[in-house]
Amino acid sequence: MRLGTGFHADERERILDVLRKLDQRLQRYDADAVDMELTVKDRETTKQKVTLELWIAKPRTDELVATSTETGLRDALNEVREDMWRQLDEMINRRIDARRAPTRSAPPRGVHPHAPRVMHPHA
Give the mean pLDDT of 55-62.
80
On whether residue 115 sits in a domain, the answer given is: no
On whether residue 92 sits in a domain, the answer given is: yes
Total number of domains constituting the chain = 1
On whether residue 123 sits in a domain, the answer given is: no
What pLDDT shows up at residue 52? 98
17-49 pLDDT tens trace: 999 999 988 998 898 999 999 999 999 899 999
Q: Is 9 within 8 Å of 27 (Cβ atoms)? A: no
CATH of the domain at 10: 3.30.160
Nearest Cα to Cα of residue 71 among 51, 50, 96, 100: 50
Distance between CA atoms of residues 54 and 38, nearest Å: 9
Q: pTM (2 decimals)?
A: 0.76
Q: Residue 43 corresponds to which amino acid?
A: R
Q: Is 80 within 8 Å of 66 (Cβ atoms)? A: yes
84-121 pLDDT tens trace: 999 999 988 887 777 776 666 665 666 565 655 555 55
On whether residue 107 sits in a domain, the answer given is: no
What pLDDT shows up at residue 99? 74
